[in-house]
Structure 1
Amino acid sequence: MKQNFTVRHGALDGVEAFLSVARHRNFRKAAAELNVTPSAISQAVRTLEARIGAALFTRTTRSVGLTEAGERFFARARPAFEELIAASEIAREIGQRPAGLLRLSVPPAVMPIVLEPMIASFCQAYPEIELEIVASGELVDLAAEGFDAGIRLGDLIAADMIAVRLTPPFPMVVVGSRDYLRDRTIPERIEDLRDHACLRMRRSNGSVAPWRFVKGNKTIEAIVTGPLIAHDYPTLLGAAIQGAGLAQVPSPIARSAIADERLQEMLGPYAVTSPGIFLYYPERHQVLPKLRAFIDHIRRQDGAAASRKRPRGRQGQS
């Protein structure tokens, strides 16, 4: 049977008033410190004493003293209340400026595409933020595992998450090394993959992912076979470079290997487009400044990179 639980209200009511009176041994000075009336302080202390069930002060017309119960309550309550105030200040600072521990869950394939180019500049720009990156291909529960955000391919992000685009869409390309292709026919149709060693990815749910293509207006899933099953794209890419077989990987991580001819791209007309890479986090009313700073920094870096790649026009032209 489900039990009913209630939160006790007012557990700290009157504690601040009590501590101020106990320090000053004076109700008027306590009232001035807390910017309230002496009668309000007296009422707060009486309510606290009634809730506790013991008198905390001895009062005369000339002085205020602590009872034995008051002395013991003061000895325990003062450090606890000061610690509570300190905790509130720390939480307020984290909520108002970029500071604290920022934990991100990131698949290894994303590291060279998005994070490696900007980690140093982010750490220099925000020295009060500790950036912790956990490289894992697993789709973790961000809240349960204590992460502020994750980074994943867009089609892997749950619908109840807030997603922020980090890259434009890109194709999933099939690549192979020249050594592997030397004595083999380069595949020109999806059906040709049956004659090739295809390196495959195991999903976080345990299934082996088929290779996906587009043919006309239809998306096709090709069941391929090969000598290697990996849990991340960098492993597949490295194996393809070494000649173990063909791999289907996100185009950004294969770009440099294609450019320097360690890999050759094929089946381009059938390449399926991934929605791109997104940062995602649980829906909240307010994004903490440390996470907002990270998002804004990535966008600034992307904007700077785009302007560096943009060709310069002639002076005087718009």
Structure 2
Amino acid sequence: MERADIKHLLAFLAVARERSFTRAAAKLGMSQSALSHTIRGLEARMGMRLLTRTTRSVAPTEAGERLLRSVGPHFEEIESELAALTEFRDKPAGTIRITAVEHAAETLIWPALRKLLGKYPDINLEIILDYGLTDIVAERFHAGVRLGEQVAPGMVAVRIGPDIQMTVVAAPSYLAEHPAPKTPRDVVNHRCIVLRLPTYGGLYTWPFRKGRSEFNVKAEGHLVFNTVPQMLQAALDGFGLAYLPEDVVRPHIASGRLQWVLEDWSPVFQGYHLYFPKRRQTSAAFKLVIDALRFESGKKAGRTSGR
């Protein structure tokens, strides 16, 4: 068999990772028909099927999965080393991909990095909003941003924000008809506005903490959203209790549009951390991103999500 062309292998890796010809073609900047032709050519040259295609999905065969695991990391190392060579340029450059939850992106990441991008126009930034626990290595992100408790072991974690207090809030109009819960257990008797998590498709369970007592409550989802702004708006409109970061609801509590309930049960979590693999070669551009996001006690936080 002739040596597989690098472009063919890159095409296969894109489809195998994206699990979609449409997304892979867009990522590679080529048409779906050209990509399909390239994959068929690679499979013909290797004498085996690498991808299983159905009308709804694409997945690697056993041979394709082995090729993905064995060849993929080497291309990632090459890309990482090429990115690191930008240190020898006059100005840092390159694309930095970060996955983060919406709250972190709006209150911390963008306020810090918009200043950096203005100073270094050759740095490109891609921020993907996702509440799931994304595998940043498999999805080829440079870094992820999650609460400290959610960072996987073995990752380098850089704190980028202060501790976060969670709150249960409701509009006065809702509380006028439904007495405020006195204990977390009372939450199950209320209409709740909850967050759906993409990782397993389940609803976010509300943690509560008071002194040494802590437990989780599975709130009934009268309204279910997958982003914070919609949850906030539903709470403001009087549709039930919502479990949200304190900085998001702070201006609305101050204006009287929301009331904080179960305040003495509100838990505090470690702030957001930027995390990435220990062995990943860091480019000059990525180092600048880390420094721009790094949290310092007393450092002015970004704007809140409240509107």
Q: What's the TM-score, normalizing by structure 2?
A: 0.64
From 247, 254, 257, the equivalent of 2:249 is 254
From 103, 116, 132, the equivalent of 2:97 is 103
Q: Does 1:218 align with 2:218?
A: no
Distance 1:177 1:89 in 2: 53
Shift of 1:89: 7.8
- Identity, in percent, stands at 33
Q: Does 1:305 align with 2:300?
A: yes
Residue equivalent to 2:55: none
Q: Does 1:170 align with 2:164?
A: yes
Amino acid paired to 1:279: L
Q: Extract unaligned runs of 5+ from structure 2.
A: 1-79, 302-307
Change in Cα spacing, 1:275 to 1:294, as seen in structure 2 (3 Å) is: same
For the residue of structure 2 that corresponds to 1:140, the secondary structure is coil
1:30-74 CA-partner distances (Å, limit 9, x unpaired): xxxxxxxxxxxxxxxxxxxxxxxxxxxxxxxxxxxxxxxxxxxxx
Residue equivalent to 1:51: none
For the residue of structure 2 that corresponds to 1:278, the secondary structure is strand
Amino acid paired to 2:127: I
Distance 2:82 2:236 in 1: 53
**8 Å contact kept, 2:86–2:283:** no
Q: Extract unaligned runs of 5+ from structure 1.
A: 1-86, 307-318
Distance 2:237 2:96 in 1: 36
1:162-190 CA-partner distances (Å, limit 9, x unpaired): 11111121211101112222222122222
Residue equivalent to 2:270: 275
Greater gyration radius: 1
Shift of 1:221: 1.2
Residue equivalent to 1:113: 107
1:184-241 CA-partner distances (Å, limit 9, x unpaired): 2122222332331112222222222221111341211122213112223333222212
From 250, 258, 267, the equivalent of 1:263 is 258
Structure 1 residue ranges (4+ consecutive) displaced by more than 6 angstroms after TM superposition: 87-90
**8 Å contact kept, 1:118–1:301:** no
Instruction: Provide the aligned C-alpha RMSD in A.
Output: 2.6
Kindly report which structure 2 residues correspond to 1:62-73, keeping only aligned pairs within 5 A, or say none: none
Shift of 1:285: 6.1
Change in Cα spacing, 1:126 to 1:302, as seen in structure 2 (3 Å) is: farther
**8 Å contact kept, 1:112–1:253:** no
Residue equivalent to 2:24: none
Distance 1:133 1:167 in 2: 17
Change in Cα spacing, 1:94 to 1:242, as seen in structure 2 (3 Å) is: farther
Change in Cα spacing, 1:301 to 1:117, as seen in structure 2 (3 Å) is: farther
Amino acid paired to 1:158: A
Distance 1:214 1:90 in 2: 44
Kindly report which structure 2 residues correspond to 1:62-211, keeping only aligned pairs within 5 A, or say none: 92-94=85-87, 98-203=92-197, 204-211=199-206
Distance 1:273 1:303 in 2: 18
Range moving further from structure 2, 157-166 or 93-102: 93-102
From 221, 228, 231, the equivalent of 1:233 is 228
Amino acid paired to 2:175: L
**8 Å contact kept, 2:86–2:284:** no
Change in Cα spacing, 1:115 to 1:234, as seen in structure 2 (3 Å) is: same
Structure with more relative contact order (C-alpha pairs < 8 Å, separation 6 or more): 2
Shift of 1:107: 1.4
For the residue of structure 1 that corresponds to 2:173, the secondary structure is helix
Amino acid paired to 1:240: A
Change in Cα spacing, 1:120 to 1:88, as seen in structure 2 (3 Å) is: closer
Equivalences, count:
220
1:266-309 CA-partner distances (Å, limit 9, x unpaired): 11111112111111111126432212211211248986527xxx
**8 Å contact kept, 1:94–1:100:** no
